[in-house]
Amino acid sequence: MEFNFSIKDVATEEVMKIDKYVDGNGHEKNDDLKDKMKLIIDEMGKASAVAQELKLPVTSADKLANSDHILYMMTEHDKPEHFSVVGILKMGWKKLYLYNKEGSRSEAMVYCLLDFYIHESKQRKGYGKRLIECMLQDINLEAKHLAIDKPTKKLLQFMWKHYQLSKLVNQGNNFVIFEEFFDDAFDEKNHDNSGHRALAYKRTNKCLDAMVAHKHHEHMGIVQGEGDARVLPEVKYNQDTEFA
């Protein structure tokens, strides 16, 4: 999405990390910058809602300002005083009751993927993978450690294609987690059983350049996490998933 102004003073790296202050660190008194940032966040949130066929945006500047969520925003500077926003990824810690595939329940703080959108003009070019990788490296987690809020079929295909995560454990609410989450469950690296945020949560903007190539499976099953576990019908993998 293109904008006819620049925020180069704060968008010094490909991916910005934005918190509830919605201004970029060190620019609290710059009202003009705040207005521009709010406009960008609101417009990208609306575009994400349209792409997901939602009635209302999940992401807005006001919602971000009244939460402890983190918004990762990928930008491109094509020419002076003109730049484009490639995509957004909103993350946040949530206290969840976790059900494994046997139906056993526990409670923990888990890092949750709340919104993910790559602009239509930038899809299928690797931007989505780079944005997710930046977040994972920033928080020092693996993709299998995430919970996803109301995942779309396209997002599930993306996670399957790039991270070989094929089975989801339905949590009986809007969140799903991957069966592989329980491979090292209750490791403090990805969540904290005492209810506190994981030690891995840190504020840094650095992302590694190296990207890891992954294989993908041919089918994906979903495991229901309430009561008796059951495998739902398999879903065919669509290689043209838009986030790729």
- Which residues, including other chains, have CB under 8 Å from residue 105's CB and lie 6 or more apart? 97, 98, 99
- Tell me the binding residues: 116-129
Tokens of 120: 């239509």
> 180 and 223 in contact (C-beta within 8 Å)?
no
CA distance 50 to 115: 12
- Tell me the binding residues for acetyl-CoA: 116-129
Tokens 């059900």 identify what position? 99
Closest-CA residue to 205 (of 68, 74, 61, 27): 74
